[in-house]
Structure 1
Amino acid sequence: MPDDKPEKIGKMRAGDVIHLTAAASVQFLRPIFVRVIRELPERHTYHGWVWVEGYQLNAAGDAVAHRELYVMRAGVRLQPLPITPTRPARRRRRPVRVG
């Protein structure tokens, strides 16, 4: 039986990829992946909560939105690199010349 005990994480550093679910905040009922830019220490928070600045990642691991997120540190999960896509990224198709 796997150990489902949450891993205690320290200060998040630039480049860390984190997985945010409802355990981190109710706003993440649909889980997202975020590449951390930095923690925002200058903002006042409640004990156990933290502001994080980062880029939300799509299924291919590409940055799609810049976000500032308020999360419960105990609910944040570090994602080992590289991220494996859950579905293939969409590719733009080039026009085909006929004739």
Structure 2
Amino acid sequence: MHPFRGGDLLHITQAASVQFSRPFRFRLIRVLEDRITYDGWLWIEGYELDARGEAVARRELFVQPYGLRKLSPAVSPARREPAPVRKGSGKPSRASGRRA
């Protein structure tokens, strides 16, 4: 069993396979466990990420799991919650004369 799960952020380097001469970040979708591989290798599917963490290419990679390094997720700026929507303006309605 491998220690990887969908959503993991991985650093891919030559330690995972000699084909990766340029290191890059990779967001894992899933491990392709139904594929036949050599002992000690995995097929993984996910997205190659750019410097901003945006997906630039969907890829399937043949890697040695011991060469993959999990990265901690990037901390995104806190998102402001939208202001609650108020029903009515607080003014009396014309039809009934009551507040909404």
Write the mapping of 1:4-15 to structure 2, written as runs, cut at 5 A: 10-15=2-7
Deviates more, 1:11-20 or 1:55-64: 11-20
Q: Does 1:18 find its partner at 2:16?
A: no
Which runs of 5 or more structure 2 residues have no equivalent in the other structure?
A: 76-100
Query: What are the Cα deviations for residues 74-97 of structure 1, in whole angstroms up to 9, with x where unaligned?
Result: 1000011117xxxxxxxxxxxxxx
Query: What are the Cα deviations for residues 27-46 of structure 1, in whole angstroms up to 9, with x where unaligned?
Result: 11100110000000010011
Which runs of 5 or more structure 1 residues have no equivalent in the other structure?
A: 1-8, 84-99
Q: Does 1:61 find its partner at 2:48?
A: no
Structure 1 runs, 4 residues or longer, greater than 4 Å off: none
**Residue aligning to 1:81:** 73
Q: Which has the higher contact order (CA 8 A, sep 6+)?
A: 1
Q: Which one of 41, 56, 80 corresponds to residue 49 of structure 1?
A: 41
**CA separation in 2, counterparts of 1:61 and 1:19?**
12
Percent identity over the alignment? 51
Secondary structure (helix, strand or coil) at the match of 1:74 reads helix
TM-score (structure 1 length as normaliser): 0.72
Q: Does 1:38 find its partner at 2:26?
A: no
User: Does the aligned pair in 2 maintain the 1:11–1:39 contact within 8 Å?
Assistant: no
**CA separation in 2, counterparts of 1:49 and 1:17?**
18
Point out the structure with max Rg over C-alpha: 2
State the shift of 1:11 in Å: 3.1
**CA separation in 2, counterparts of 1:79 and 1:10?**
16
